[in-house]
A and B are shown apart, each in its own frame.
Chain A
Amino acid sequence: AQKVTQAQTEISVVEKEDVTLDCVYETRDTTYYLFWYKQPPSGELVFLIRRNSFDEQNEISGRYSWNFQKSTSSFNFTITASQVVDSAVYFCALSEGAARSGGSNYKLTFGKGTLLTVNP
Chain B
Amino acid sequence: DAGVIQSPRHEVTEMGQEVTLRCKPISGHDYLFWYRQTMMRGLELLIYFNNNVPIDDSGMPEDRFSAKMPNASFSTLKIQPSEPRDSAVYFCASSLRRPNQPQHFGDGTRLSIL
**A residues adjacent to B (C-beta < 8 A):** 33, 35, 37, 42-47, 50, 52, 91, 95, 97, 99, 102-108, 110-113
Nearest CB of B to A6, in Å: 10
B31: A residues at CB distance < 8 A:
106
- Chain B residues with a Cβ closer than 8 Å to the other chain, count: 24
Whether A47 pairs with B104 at a CB distance below 8 angstroms is yes
| Chain A to chain B contacts (Cβ below 8 Å), 19 pairs | A35-B102, A42-B107, A43-B89, A44-B105, A44-B108, A45-B108, A47-B102, A47-B104, A47-B105, A50-B102, A95-B99, A99-B99, A102-B56, A103-B99, A105-B100, A106-B50, A107-B45, A107-B56, A113-B42
Whether A103 pairs with B56 at a CB distance below 8 angstroms is yes
Q: Mark B75-114, 1 if CB is under 8 A from A, else 0.
A: 0000000000000010101010001111111111010000
- Secondary structure dominating the interface of B: strand
B107: A residues at CB distance < 8 A:
42-44
Task: Tell me the nearest residue of chain B to A105, going by C-beta.
Answer: B99
Whether B89 pairs with A106 at a CB distance below 8 angstroms is no
Contact of B48 among A37, A50, A91, A106 (CB under 8 A): A106
Whole-angstrom distance between the alpha carbons of A104 and B104 in the complex? 18
Q: Is B55 an interface residue (CB 8 A)?
A: yes
Q: Is B43 an interface residue (CB 8 A)?
A: yes
B104: A residues at CB distance < 8 A:
47
Whether A33 pairs with B100 at a CB distance below 8 angstroms is yes
Whole-angstrom distance between the alpha carbons of A9 and B17 in the complex? 35
Inter-chain pairs besides A50-B101, A50-B102, 5 sampled, C-beta below 8 Å: A44-B108, A102-B55, A103-B56, A103-B99, A106-B50
